[in-house]
């Protein structure tokens, strides 16, 4: 609810730039030219966000090097999630522009692990997402093997 209530109250500062400049706390798994963080408002357990350090709003603004690094790290993030959480599949997406549900104007990739039973009664009938474990617990599992992101 926190994200939904504050959606229209956009900050003048980009949240990903604030994370990269250590002005915003995040569950960071990798930092550098490309960041991997846990989504504080996940669609599912282990939902990761991958973004370049440089503030880029659109896909075609990425350099070839940034593009290569983003997708290389995305591949490594999938391996990390497979090793630690053992999902059955993934949703991987990039939303560009507000009409495409991009709530942050800094290019980023969503990696959402999917599990056999990740949609239950609450999700289907009450439009509510139930997370099976706290973010911090999932973060500790992923952080233990974050060397896979190097």
Residues paired with residue 89 on neighbouring β-strands, in sequence order: 114
Backbone angles phi, psi at 35, to 5 degrees: -105, 145
Question: Could you tell me the two tokens for 122?
Answer: 């609450």
Q: Which of 47, 55, 106, 108 is catalytic?
A: 108
CB atoms within 10 A of CB 142: 22
Helix axes 64-84, 135-144, angle to 10 degrees: 100
Q: In whole angstroms, what is the distance from residue 113 CA to residue 92 CA?
A: 9
Number of H-type helices and E-type strands within the chain: 5, 5
108 is an active site residue: yes
Backbone angles phi, psi at 28, to 5 degrees: -85, 130
Q: Which residue has the tokens 């503030």?
A: 55
- Residues marked as catalytic: 108
């Amino acid at each position: 609810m926190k994200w939904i209530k504050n959606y229209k109250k956009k900050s003048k500062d980009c949240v990903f730039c604030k994370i990269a400049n250590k002005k915003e706390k995040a569950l960071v798994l990798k930092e550098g030219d490309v960041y991997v963080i846990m989504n504080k408002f996940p669609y599912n357990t282990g939902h990761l966000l991958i973004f370049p350090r440089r503030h880029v709003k659109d896909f075609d603004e990425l350099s070839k090097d940034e593009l290569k690094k983003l997708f290389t790290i995305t591949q490594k993030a999938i391996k990390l999630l497979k090793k630690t959480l053992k999902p059955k599949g993934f949703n991987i997406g990039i939303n560009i522009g507000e009409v495409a549900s991009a709530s942050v104007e800094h290019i980023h990739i969503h990696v959402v692990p999917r599990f056999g039973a990740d949609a239950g009664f609450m999700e289907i009938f009450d439009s509510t997402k139930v997370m099976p474990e706290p973010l911090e617990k999932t973060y500790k599992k992923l952080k233990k093997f974050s060397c896979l992101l190097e």
